[in-house]
Structure 1
Amino acid sequence: MLVDTHCHLDVDEFEPDRAQVIARARAAGVTRQIVPAIDAAGWPGLKAVCAEDAGLFPAFGLHPVLLVSHREEHLRELREWLERERPVAVGECGLDHFIEGLDPATQLHYFDAQLRMARDFDLPVIVHARRAVDQVLSAIRRIGGLRGVVHSFSGSRQQAGQLWENGFLLGLGGPVTYPRANRLRTLAADMPIEWLLLETDAPDQPGACHRGQRNEPAHLVEILEAIAELRGIAPAELAAATTANAERLFRLPTRPAA
């Protein structure tokens, strides 16, 4: 009963075989996926995809990498979607200081607005933070009253600790399976288990066994096994703990729908 806490099942890459992808996930024991949005144009399609399977849970937000697509009215529309649809989270949102040409001030404007909505609706936030963990932390502290996950975490142990202190879990995925990812693997080995979530970020960020291929939620088992080995515990123990973490953060039913 694993939860893939970050999986973009709604995107075009899964259009030809989405049902089979979900079936493979279920066969692998991945019973539920959180499906975060990236832009306003995709919200209706994401909603429709999640309606097809009781184990899919939507989140709605505006991704910083799609900054050119965002408009001020999308923030007003997002508030309406959150009110009407009652998703499990706000996101994916955040800051990206890796890709050139994404204005930092404009990114922060959209991020702050979404953090405030998450606080207002008492929803967790799914955060993208690429080369921007300190700036994300600053925004989280400034807004206050928040909880959530920084997905695909790649920061330092010190930054991780500061996120835990502010109520944020860390999502770890395919990169942790690469032997040369020393800092990330060290963090995965000894971080407090109550702050850990598993994710694939499918179709992106495949693990070492699927380098160069489309990622999918069934591959979450390989991430589970890699982290369990690093921690010296049974995969079942790690599965139980991370599933409980996901259920707690996203307020999921404790048992997936049949």
Structure 2
Amino acid sequence: MLIDSHCHLDFSVFDGDRAQVLTRAITAGVAAYVVPATTAASFEKVLTLSRESIQVYAALGLHPYFMSEHDDEALTALRNALNNTPGVVAVGECGFDARLPDPQRQWQLFDAQLALAREFSLPVIVHCVRANDQVAKHLREACLPRGGIIHAFAGSEVQAERFLALGFVLGLGGSVTYSRAQKLRHVVSRLPDEGFILETDSPDMPLSGYQGQRNEPVRVKQVAEVVAELRATSVQHIGELTTANVRRVLQLNV
């Protein structure tokens, strides 16, 4: 059994064939999907998907990529949603992206969401691009009760160890399937069994061989195959490990 721990099934690119996308994934052995919201406007669609399918789990957060959509009411909307919606498994997708403008506002929004995660005793799903050390510092200072997931991890072995020590697991997705990602592949080969999970970030982060195509949760199986090869083990074993890790971190009942 496999879990896609990070896929944006609410995005409009799936509106025409969402049921078929899920069917393809289920046929490949993908039993559950974590769908992180990115804006306050997306909360209801994400929650509706989770209500309509017991295999879909909702996380709610404000993604740094959409800063222009996070007005003064967005954090209030997030707090209200967390307070009034049972079954939300994490705060996220939240975080920091060094490629994007307005870093001060990004950090303020990230810290505010970490405070909500602490208040509601939820894990966080963290978007972190070219800022592993700084993000780790903010996470350490937040004193979160339940850790969470570093989405699309692409850092060094030292940075990986730092996140693991803070109670986080590392999301492995399309990046690990590229042969040129030698440093990441080396880190993946050395991670502890309890330290990683699988994801696709669908419809983004296409795997090697699928560049320019819409990503789908079915391809989490191919991520598992690459990780199994790097760790000299079976796909079944990787599925068992990562399913247990997602269950533990997000307290899923799958």
TM range (shorter): over 0.9
Larger CA deviation: 119-128 vs 138-147: 138-147
- Partner residue, 1:111: 110
Per-residue deviation, residues 183-226 of structure 1 (Å, max 9, x unmatched): 11111111112010100000001111322211000000000000
Per-residue deviation, residues 48-105 of structure 1 (Å, max 9, x unmatched): 1222211000000000010111012211111110111130000000000013xx2111
Per-residue deviation, residues 89-135 of structure 1 (Å, max 9, x unmatched): 00000000013xx2111001110010011111111100000011111
Larger CA deviation: 69-78 vs 165-174: 69-78
Q: Whole-Å Cα distance in 2 between the matches of residues 145 and 247 of structure 1?
A: 18
- Partner residue, 1:71: 71
Whether 2:126 is the aligned partner of 1:127: answer yes
Matches within 5 A, 1:82-93: 82-86=82-86, 87-93=88-94
Q: Which runs of 5+ in 2 are unaligned?
A: none
RMSD value, Cα: 0.9
- Partner residue, 2:144: 145
Alignment-mate amino acid for residue 137 of structure 1: A
SS at match of 1:24: helix
- Partner residue, 1:160: 160
Per-residue deviation, residues 132-181 of structure 1 (Å, max 9, x unmatched): 11111111111113401110011111111111111111001011011111
Number of matched pairs: 252
Q: Whole-Å Cα distance in 2 between the matches of residues 190 and 142 of structure 1?
A: 27
Q: Whole-Å Cα distance in 2 between the matches of residues 225 and 72 of structure 1?
A: 44
Runs of 4+ in 1 over 4 A off after TM superposition: none
Per-residue deviation, residues 11-48 of structure 1 (Å, max 9, x unmatched): 01101000000111110100100000110111111111
Whether 2:202 is the aligned partner of 1:202: answer yes
Larger CA deviation: 132-141 vs 122-131: 132-141
- Partner residue, 1:97: 98
Counting aligned pairs with the same residue, the percent is 45
Q: Whole-Å Cα distance in 1 between the matches of residues 137 and 3 of structure 2?
A: 29
- Partner residue, 1:174: 174
Alignment-mate amino acid for residue 133 of structure 1: N
Q: Whole-Å Cα distance in 1 between the matches of residues 174 and 17 of structure 2?
A: 22
Alignment-mate amino acid for residue 19 of structure 1: A
Alignment check: 8 A CA contact 2:97 2:127 kept? yes
- Partner residue, 1:190: 190
Whether 2:236 is the aligned partner of 1:236: answer yes
Q: Whole-Å Cα distance in 2 between the matches of residues 114 and 232 of structure 1?
A: 38
SS at match of 1:208: coil
Alignment check: 8 A CA contact 2:117 2:144 kept? no
Larger CA deviation: 184-193 vs 45-54: 45-54
Alignment-mate amino acid for residue 96 of structure 2: L
Whether 2:220 is the aligned partner of 1:220: answer yes
Q: Whole-Å Cα distance in 2 between the matches of residues 16 and 196 of structure 1?
A: 32
- Partner residue, 1:39: 39
